[in-house]
Amino acid sequence: MLREIDNNIWVAEQPLKYWGLEVGTRMTVIRLTSGELIVISPIQSDKTTIEQLNEIGNVAYIIAPNLYHHLFVYEFKSIYQKAQLWVVPGLVSKRPELSFDKEINNKEGSIQEEVDYLLFDGFKVLDLTGSSIVNEFVFFHQKSRTLILTDIAFHFDETFSLKTRFAAQILGAYKVLSPSRLDKLATTDKEKVKDSVEKILCWDFDRVIMAHGSIIETNGKQKFKQGYEWVFEKNYLSKKN
């Protein structure tokens, strides 16, 4: 079910467990002036959500924003066959059976000059295979001054279960807009991350939507800056993050 966040921007959420913890996941929908819709990080669709989407506009872009959030993109593409499916570099070799309309090869760009995007370069996570590059593209909806992130930062707070809050505290991701301590350790090329952070800070955003955590309605830029201060530190591996 879609929830309106501001003019021309909605989210929909569903439960998701990761390593046994309830972290939830969220997709974002943006309506362009043309009436076309961008769906970022689709979740499993249901009848209500599809009906709502059809009411608010025409789904024209379906985006898998990184190498992890791609599970439901084909479900959406099969419903909205005329929409363009965008994937990030590396997804095709991860899921060779998939077909897509565009691989986002340019590190920066914009969709109809209303939504800017850029590659959050160098960011890695620790997963079952070790440390893996995420190739995440982040988005900025100019009109609503919203930054849209997927896995490069969490924002868990008291609305989450005790277990998730406890884990988030241990991992340094409680009530901060930040990646986990493990992701910071996995991210060795912090120069690239720093460049990406600096570019994001040039965008005039106030709200931050992320896939896992509570939406930050205001002062998002300040929170993002605080959560990524570690890339500006000279010796962050030896410091307590």
Closest CA to 4 of 53, 73, 47: 53
Closer residue to Fe ion, CB minimum distance, 168 or 211: 211
- Considering only residues 197-236, where is the footprint of Fe ion by CB under 5 A? 211
Cα(22)–Cα(58) distance, integer angstroms: 32
Using the rule CB under 5 A, give the single segment among 130-138, 144-152, 200-208, 219-227 that binds Fe ion.
144-152
Rounded Cα gap, residues 105 and 18, in angstroms = 29
Q: Give the separation between CA 237 and CA 94, rounded to whole angstroms.
A: 30
36 versus 151: smaller Cβ distance to Fe ion: 151
> What is d(CA 186, CA 22) in angstroms, rounded to the nearest whole number?
22
CB of 144 to Fe ion, least distance (A): 22
151 contacts Fe ion (rule: CB under 5 A): yes
- Segment contacting Fe ion (CB under 5 A): 101-109, 147-155, 187-195, 201-209? 147-155
- CA 62 – CA 42 distance, rounded (Å): 7
The three-class DSSP label of residue 8 is: coil
* Residue among 116 and 183 whose Cβ is closer to Fe ion: 183
* Count of chain residues binding Fe ion (CB under 5 A): 2
Chain center to CA of 186: 18
Give whichever of 24 and 122 is closer to Fe ion, judged by the CB atom.
Answer: 24
Using the contact rule CB under 5 A, the part of the chain among 28-36, 148-156, 177-185, 231-239 near Fe ion is 148-156
Residue 148 CB, shortest distance to Fe ion, in Å, is: 13
Smaller CB separation from Fe ion, 8 or 164: 164
Angle between helix axes 190-201 and 220-227 (nearest 10 degrees) is 170
Residue 40 CB, nearest distance to Fe ion (Å)? 12
Give φ, ψ of 213 to 5 degrees. 140, -175
- Contact footprint for Fe ion (CB under 5 A): 151, 211
